[in-house]
Amino acid sequence: MADFDFAATLQAGLRVLYATIGFDIVYRPASGDAIECRALFEQPDTGVALMPGANLRDRKQLLKVLQADVPAPAKGDTVEVPKGAPARRVMAFMTPPDDAFRVQWLVELGGP
């Protein structure tokens, strides 16, 4: 009996999700060719309590992209979000905490 490749199955399912509710972006590495792909947009609104009654909101803008599409993101790369818009800088990237199979990147965007 062949081994089941859960990561490949997950990636195939995510590709359908990205195609359905994602949007077109252009990821531009500092060196190399531009990558046209689909992404999901996240804008978590997380709070940090500084002291009783004083809270700070962190409104990062994040993209999820498939690692198969963007294999080596780097700080300082740029992204057109959506495709054709002014480029935004990549500030950081990481594997999302809920992605045990490491098939996506979570990319934090800064300004132009």
pLDDT at 7: 81
pLDDT at 3: 81
pLDDT at 52: 80
pLDDT at 2: 67
**Residue 74: half-sphere exposure toward Cβ, Cα within 13 Å:** 8
Provide the token pair at 23.
Answer: 């949007």
pLDDT at 85: 94
pTM attached to this predicted model: 0.81
Residue 28: phi, psi to the nearest 5?
Answer: -115, 105
> Under 8 Å CB-to-CB from 25, ≥6 apart: which residues?
36, 37, 38, 39, 63, 65, 79, 80, 81, 82, 83
Residue ranges in the chain whose pLDDT is less than 50 = none
> Under 8 Å CB-to-CB from 66, ≥6 apart: which residues?
11, 14, 15, 18, 37, 38, 103, 104, 105
> Under 8 Å CB-to-CB from 41, ≥6 apart: which residues?
23, 61, 62, 63, 81
